[in-house]
Structure 1
Amino acid sequence: MQDKTNIKEVLNEKEGFQIWWRLLRPHTLTASFVPVFVGTMFAFNDGTIEIRLFLAMLLASILIQAATNMFNEYYDFIRGLDNEQSVGIGGTIVRDGIAPKTILNLAFTFFGIAILLGVYICMESSWWIAVIGLISMLFGYLYTGGPFPIAYTPLGELFSGFFMGTVIIGISYYIQTLSVTVDVILISIPVAIFIASIMLANNIRDLDGDKQNGRKTIAILIGRKQAVKLMGFLFTASYVLTVLYIILGILPILSIVVILSSIKARNVIKNFEGKTKPIEMLPAMIATGKTNTLYGILLGLSLLISHFI
């Protein structure tokens, strides 16, 4: 078994500012940036946008995602899921020695700032956004907090994809247009799938440890090999839906550029196949986040450019 020093070296974990940067779990933050970007660009493609609302929504979304990551860090430690040998993307408590209470307080602080940004967004759009936003924040906490954490069930991917994908895209579109269309809900589905896949990748990597600690994730229920096949199916479904939306005229023809991200999606599956140790699956984890990033940025840019054509 590797000791603490070796684990930190393998993961290339540095001291100082890098500790707090890792606490945010930066490569997962694309799951908050992408839906805001896509929803806003879809609104821009339909008309105009208010930049201040976009920036406020973007920052609030990132803060909520970062806080959710911190809750995950805190409660995984409290429940004994994390230890010095864990190769997860957190580790600020078990390897860096940051006090658990500090992380919990920082998470609630981020939530507080997000609420203030939400007040501004509501003043400029609708107070119904406050209701939806508070519900989203509640589920962000309940993902790993509370007596029955969602992340410990087979529904983790479904909840994360829905709230971080469909809900955020819908809100981002609504605050710009004061409406929500069927089309914007439809285009949120592939994005939601890619976001859910980030959680699925995490659960595939942590399958053995999660199983020992009583979790019942979808990866545990169907097994690692089938979970990897499920991820491949989800990726394929996302690209098929995108092409279908282009054919139906929901997305512009330029959106076909998102197919380029499928190269990274194939790398995810390849890097998972035949791997059983968490450290061996880190490249697949990273590639999953990059797939979501590439797909989302290419989709958003295609909508932006199409506005001017």
Structure 2
Amino acid sequence: MPSKITPWILAARPKTLGAAIAPVLVGTVVGATLGGKFCVWLMLATLGSCICLQIATNLFNDAVDAMKGSDTKERLGPVRITASGMMSARTVMLVAAGVLVLATLLAVPLIIYRGWPIIAIGIPSLWFCYGYTGGPVPLAYRGLGELFVVLFFGLVAVTGSAFVQSGQWHVEALVAGLQVGMLSTVLIAINNFRDVDEDTKTGKRTLAVRFGKTFARREIDALFTGVLLLGLSWLFAIWPGGMRYPQACVLPGFCLFLMQAIRRDIQAEPSEALNRTLAKAGAVLVLFSILFSIGFWFGYPVSAVRMVAP
């Protein structure tokens, strides 16, 4: 059995699942804090659905890249099960579709309690799991991968998770969503920087391919800088209701040492060593989300939050 399960674990890319968990955590804390109540079942349904969307995206990416010839023997990243011949593209695509069905089923409680906005968020999310690398306008092949991640794994996921908890849309969730989205995008930017030579040969027009390695390094620097600058708003801005959240700025500051390590790593030429850098970027995303959530929670009177069922 382990030999049969292992390829699917590889294809699901467990190290990337932080990009699905982080926005749900942050959005849930923002929504529960501002809405005054927290529902664990809605959070679990949101988390399960988002994780399924991430896994489906990874599976479609595995199959589509192999069919297009983008994953070659020169690949520096982890093994892909379609390109390596462990699974056929058809099988991987079918499993990806099945995971999308599961994501939809997990979203049913969200639709019941929060209505049409969940459908409005869900339909494009389902499509772009495939459309990220497949379809008539594959985002990853047009240099639009970073924009997709900022929007869907940042703004949409965080604001949507906050809406699920509170039934309202919050400007605080927009700012937090941008921060999470930028950190998630760092993962894509490092991945594209690592694969820039292979992608150039195979015609995958990522931003790193279009504008070069120096641009790719500056892009990662800019994303980290943007996260830090947005963080200052939690320290200095006065939010609706007269609230301030200084801890939401200060606590995530502990991520700085990992950010600096990543900046040093990307000064070298692309190599397999960047796989470790990707792991560091994933750690930054998860650590930031945990520290931000703790800081935001305690930026508001704790007594105002009560545990209730919907």
Whether the TM-score (by the shorter chain) exceeds 0.5 is yes
Local SS of the residue matching 1:93? coil
1:304 aligns with 2:297: yes
Q: Which moved more, 1:78-87 or 1:184-193?
A: 78-87
5 Å matches for 1:245-284?
A: 245-250=234-239, 252-255=245-248, 256-277=250-271, 279-284=272-277
Query: Quick one: which amino acid aligns to residue 293 of structure 1?
Result: V
1:45 aligns with 2:33: yes
1:288 aligns with 2:277: no
Whole-Å Cα distance in 1 between the matches of residues 164 and 137 of structure 2?
Answer: 33
| Pick aligned residue for 1:30 from 18, 24, 27 | 18
Question: TM-score, normalised on structure 2?
Answer: 0.90
Cα gap change, 1:90/1:180 in structure 2, threshold over 3 Å: closer, same or farther? farther
What percent identity do the matched residue pairs reach?
27
CA shift, 1:27, in A, is 1.3
5 Å matches for 1:74-113?
A: 74-95=63-84, 97-113=86-102
Using CA pairs under 8 Å that are at least 6 residues apart, name the structure with larger relative contact order, 1 or 2: 2
Whole-Å Cα distance in 1 between the matches of residues 235 and 33 of structure 2?
Answer: 14
- In structure 1, the residue matched to 2:214 is 225
Cα RMSD, aligned residues only: 1.8
5 Å matches for 1:195-214?
A: 195-214=184-203
CA shift, 1:35, in A, is 0.5
- In structure 2, the residue matched to 1:7 is none
5 Å matches for 1:60-75?
A: 60-75=49-64
Whole-Å Cα distance in 2 between the matches of residues 90 and 133 of structure 1?
Answer: 30
Whole-Å Cα distance in 2 between the matches of residues 306 and 31 of structure 1?
Answer: 24
What 5-or-longer segments of structure 2 have no aligned partner? 304-310
Deviation string 1:212-252 (CA, Å, 9 cap, x unpaired) is 11122111122112211221121012012112222114452
Question: TM-score, normalised on structure 1?
Answer: 0.90
Whole-Å Cα distance in 1 between the matches of residues 130 and 110 of structure 2?
Answer: 21
Whole-Å Cα distance in 1 between the matches of residues 137 and 247 of structure 2?
Answer: 44
Deviation string 1:262-291 (CA, Å, 9 cap, x unpaired) is 1111111111112233x1322222211111
Instruction: Report if aligned partners of 1:19, 1:96 keep a CA contact under 8 Å in 2.
Output: no
What 5-or-longer segments of structure 1 have no aligned partner? 1-13
Whole-Å Cα distance in 1 between the matches of residues 286 and 247 of structure 2?
Answer: 18
Whole-Å Cα distance in 2 between the matches of residues 216 and 95 of structure 1?
Answer: 23
Q: Which moved more, 1:236-245 or 1:83-92?
A: 83-92
